[in-house]
Each structure stands twice: as C-alpha cells, then as structure tokens.
Chains A and B, each alone.
Chain A
Amino acid sequence: MALVEINNLHKSFGSNHVLRGIDFSVEQGEVVCVIGPSGSGKSTLLRCVNLLEVPQEGQVIVRGEDITDPDCHLDAARASIGMVFQQFNLFPHLSVLTNCAVAQTTVLKRKPEEAEKIARANLDRVGLTDKVHAFPAQLSGGQQQRVAIARALSMDPALMLFDEPTSALDPELVGDVLTVMRKLALEGMTMLVVTHEMAFARDVADRVVFMDGGVIVEQGPPAEVIGNPQEERTKLFLKRVLDPTHVQDN
C-alpha cells in the first residue's frame, strides 16, 4: 500500500482552478520531486497532503487513512507528516531548542526532558549543535531552514514534505540545506519535495513529477523526465530552467 495516495484531487481558489484532477501516490521510502512552472499547482498539491489547503473534490489517503474525511483525526495525521516551508516559519519568540520541542510536548505528550533530548539529537543531525540556545532571528537563512527540518524530524514523521525549501535562500546557503536533505533521503526517509533545484531532483529523486496547468504532465525516473522528456511542455520548461540565458519567448 502506498504511503500517500491521492485520487482525483481538485482545488480552486475562487474561479482559479489550480488542481484539475490529480491522481498520484508516494511509496514508503520513496523520494519524489515535483517540478513545474510557477502557478502549475505543485505547492498547492503539497499543501493538500496535510490539508493546509482543503480540496474541493477527491481523496488524500495517508497511511490508509482518508484525511479529507471530516471524522478523521487530522491533527494526529499532521503530526506524522513533517513539513518544511519556503519561508521557514520558525517560531521567532522561542529558542531553537524550544522550536523543536514545543510540538513534541504539546502534541505527542512527550516529557520535557525526552523532548529536549530528541530535539538536540535532531539539531545535531542537521549540524546545528552549537545553536540550540539561539533565537531564529540570530541565524542565517540556511541555518533557519535546517532548524525547520530538525523541528519536523523531532516529531518522528513517516513522511516529509518540502515546499521549495531553498527558494528563499541566498545562493551560497542553498548547499547546506540540500546536503541535509540528501542525507535524509539516503537514510530512507519518504520525501515529497517541490523544488526548482534540477540537480537535486536528478541526483536524489527516485521519481520526478512534472506538473503544468494543474495536471501531472509527465512522471518517471529522473533520467527519463529530466534526461529525456517526452512531452513538449516538459521540454520547454526544462530548456528554460536548465539554460537561464535562453531568451524566453512568451
């Protein structure tokens, strides 16, 4: 059984039909990268997986539980899905350590000492052992995003969602975050990553999904989708992304 299964997902914002019938699944241990032009609905798709956006139609089944069902325990399902945002969204009034511990104690009901131990272990995992007592505003963007990853990992998630995790970073800080994500993938974490980092998608993903206009246009192993795309729209997008000096003809 797939870890995440999405059936016929539709989402509109007003008259803007962002997702037009998505069928899609993520297997246990799989790393899936979602690529596509801005406005293609890839972030919306990701935000539907933990119901930050509520779809108008369709099902989102996470670990066998339909989370679009109003009777499901949405908060429990969310606790098992880690999410990393483009803008980090760390809690600025809490220290790095408390950022990673607060949901453990309030949602998972772990004891404060246990939560702190787990938080420290995960901060160690992202290479920020020496920043536990800092506040988010005292960290660089790359460090903040790694804290955000440690915060999500501290909940022992079955799945990690990444919503353009490096898009808000200065170029030279992108590498640190991607290194952490690469390590997670090697450790067998199930990951769904919306990204513009083609090199990361090519090297790390088990499967690449190309979205455009609210539908999945093409998906498959990176060597096929990025290396040898079949669809015209995929070719055009990759040409623009991989060769930024290419004169855009829109």
Chain B
Amino acid sequence: MSEETPAGTTDARPGAIDAVPVRHPGRWVAIAVIAVLVAMLVHLLLTNKAFDWKFVFQAMNQTPVISGFLKGTLLVTVLSMIVGVGGGVLLAVMRLSDNPILSGVSWAFTWFFRSIPRYLLLFTMGTLGVLFPSGVSLGIPFDWKIIEWLGMSGDWRFLTLDANQVFTGLVAGVIGLGLSEAAYMAEIARAGIMSVDKGQAEAAEALGMPKGKAMRRVVLPQAMRVIVPPTGNETIAMLKDTSLLLAVPVIGELFYQLQSIGSTYYKTFPIAVAATLYYLLATSVLMVGQYFLERHFGKGFGTTAPRAARPAGAGGA
C-alpha cells in the first residue's frame, strides 16, 4: 500500500477534537421502556383488587402454613439434601472405584433413580408398606426357608420396623427425595472428583496416606469447589420439589396448606402469590448460604487472595 496521500486530503483532515464520551442512545431507550414496564407492574401490584394483599398476608400467617413451611418444606429440603449429598458422594466414589461390582452398583442406582419422575417415586414410597405387611426386617435372607429345611423354629432377624411408619409421611418423603437426589448428586460429585488433578492423590499417597484418607483430606475438599455451585442449584430445585410431597401423601407442607386455604375461601390467586413469596424468601436465604460455602471451598484458588507479583523477568521463559 502506498504511504503517500494526496496533498488535498491531508490538508482537509481535522485537527485535534474535543473528546466527547461515546453516546449510548440504545441504553436510554431501554431505560425508558423498562421504566414504563416497571411502573405498569407497580400499578398492577398496588391497584389490582385480585391480589388482595391483606388475604395474602393473613394466609401466610396461619399456623398450619408456617408449620408446613418449616417442616414440610425447609426441614425436608435439608434432610433430603443431607441424604442426597452424602449418598451422591458415596456413589461417586463407588463409581470411580476399580472394583467392577461397586462401580456397577453405583451405575445401576443412578440409572434407576434418574429414570423415575419424582412425583411417581414419592407416590410409590407411600405405597411400599404393602410389600411389608409384617414390618421391614433386617436379617438373613431366606431365613425361614433355611430354618424350615433344618427343622428348627424362630427367625433370624435382628431389627424389625413397622413398615407403616417407615413408608409414610415425612420419612417416606425424605427417603424418596433423598434417594432421587443422590442419583443426581452422584454425577455432580463424580465431575468434581475428576476435576482434581491426579497428582494430588499421588502426592497424598506418596506421603503415606491410605486411599480413603487421601480422598477425604486432599481430593474431596478440592472437588467441593466444583461441587458446590451445582449443588446450590439442586438444593433450590429440592426446595421446590417438596411441593410434590402431596403424592406420598404428606399434607404438612407449604403449598398444600396454602391451597387448602385457597379452596376454602375461593381465593386461588392470592394463595399463589403467598406461596411465591415464601419460595422467594427461602431461595434468597439459600443463595446467601451458597455464597459463603463457595467462599470457604474456594480458599487458595486465586481470586480472593491476590497472586504475589512474580520476580522480575519471570514468565519470559
């Protein structure tokens, strides 16, 4: 390309200009549109009689609703996630094991529980009592067949639970949701464990740590950094899935309690608003918790602790 420019054009070039910040007309248009929409929303919320705010707050204040929120929603979420995270980590470790039996069992568990809709699973949990009319017993399988064959009497069972207590109410709900969650958490935990460099387990084992200890002290704490964000997602999803407890059936749960108030007073819409407010509140609290968990498990990984300046000349290589 020629470097010479015709004299005429060179002279016509303007001199230094007064710099003006780049204008963003699009932003102003967007602000105007959004402001109008927000005003419309506020107008709707404040003036539309269908909201019936007084009824919303009255409904939210009913004892069965509050107790349903605390027990059926929050408590079941916490317990199910404990079962889910614990079971998921266990399943992930099994799945990554060299032992084909353990990894096969883990695979089958995940396959089974991921395949079943939660609503159906909870419904099934509520009906499982029919399998165990004389209680759920732990003991030696086929014991009465063996005893009969040996010509003896009695049984070889050391723990019997009343099936109608196990497969009912909140316990059934927690078992169902927890097992289902474990299947999903297994994949999340597996991804987390695989994200940790193989050299970490090697270094721990070279120091003499047994495999299990290396997993607990070195690999899992680092895997948590990857596991926590999707687990936050799962917890929020679980919070909302507690509304499926009705399938067990469990009625001591937030949404069912609100709905029954709604149908009694023929006010279904305010009830939906009340439930929305409760779920918004609970999710916000969970998000704060997730922030602190992420900060804890992110320790030593860059952004919070500024990287010390490298010695001069480093990085040239």
Complex contact A172–B311 (CB within 8 A): yes
Q: Is the CB of B307 within 8 A of A138?
A: yes
A-B contact pairs, 26 of them (CB 8 A): A50-B206, A52-B206, A75-B209, A77-B208, A78-B208, A83-B203, A85-B203, A87-B197, A87-B199, A89-B197, A92-B222, A92-B301, A93-B300, A103-B204, A103-B207, A103-B208, A106-B209, A106-B217, A107-B208, A108-B208, A135-B305, A137-B301, A137-B302, A138-B305, A170-B316, A172-B311
How far, in Å, is A161 (CB) from chain B's closest CB?
A: 8
Interface size on A, residues (CB 8 A): 38
Whether B199 lies near A78 (C-beta < 8 A) is: no
Assess whether A24 is interfacial by the CB under 8 Å rule: no
Cβ of A151 under 8 Å from chain B: yes
A180 on the B face (CB < 8 A): no
Are A76 and B301 closer than 8 Å at their CB atoms? no
Q: Is the CB of A89 within 8 A of B208?
A: no
B19, CB-defined interface residue at 8 Å: no
Residues of A within 8 A of B200 (CB): 89, 91
Choose among A137, A151, A152, A173 the residue that contacts B300 (Cβ–Cβ < 8 A): A137
Bitwise interface map of A from 81 to 98 toward B, beta carbon under 8 Å scored 1, else 0 = 101010101111111000
Given known A-B contacts A106-B217, A135-B305, A171-B317, A52 and B205 have beta carbons under 8 A apart: yes
B-side contacts of A136, CB under 8 Å: 300
What is the distance, in angstroms, from A43's C-beta to the closest C-beta of chain B?
A: 12
Known: A140-B314, A173-B314. A106 touches B213 (CB 8 A): yes
User: Is the CB of B21 closer than 8 A to any CB of chain A?
Assistant: no
Report Cα–Cα, A140/B297, bound state, in Å: 22
Which residues of the partner chain A approach B315 to less than 8 Å between Cβ atoms? 170
- State the interface size on chain B (CB cutoff 8 A): 34
Would you call B300 and A94 a contact (CB within 8 A)?
yes
Contact with A along B291-317 (1 / 0, CB 8 A): 000000101111001111011011111
Residue pair B221, A137 in contact (C-beta under 8 Å): no
Residue with the greatest number of chain B CB neighbours at <10 A, chosen from A76, A81, A92, A108? A92
- Interface residues, chain B, with chain A CB atoms under 8 Å away: 197, 199-200, 202-210, 213, 217-218, 221-222, 225, 297, 299-302, 305-308, 310-311, 313-317
Q: In the complex, A87 Cα to B310 Cα: how many Å? A: 18
Take A85-B199, A138-B305, A138-B308 as given contacts and tell me if A102 and B205 are in contact as well, using a CB distance cutoff of 8 Å: no
Neighbouring A residues of B199 by C-beta, 8 Å: 85, 87, 89
Determine how close the nearest CB of chain B comes to the CB of A176; give it in whole angstroms: 10
Q: How far is the CA of A1 from the CA of B205 in the complex (A)?
A: 26
Inter-chain contact A139/B217, CB cutoff 8 Å:
no
Q: Check if A79 is an interface residue, CB within 8 A of chain B.
A: yes
Given contacts A106-B209, A135-B300, 18 further A-B contacts (CB under 8 A): A50-B206, A75-B210, A78-B205, A81-B206, A83-B203, A83-B207, A85-B203, A87-B199, A91-B204, A91-B218, A93-B225, A95-B300, A102-B218, A103-B207, A103-B209, A135-B299, A137-B301, A172-B314
| Bound-state Cα–Cα, A106 to B216, Å | 11
Q: Which residue of chain A has its CB nearest to the CB of B216?
A: A106
By CB atoms of chain B within 10 A, which of A93, A106, A152, A170 has the most?
Answer: A93
> Are B206 and A140 in contact, with the CB atoms below 8 A?
no
C-alpha gap A93/B316 in the complex (Å): 27
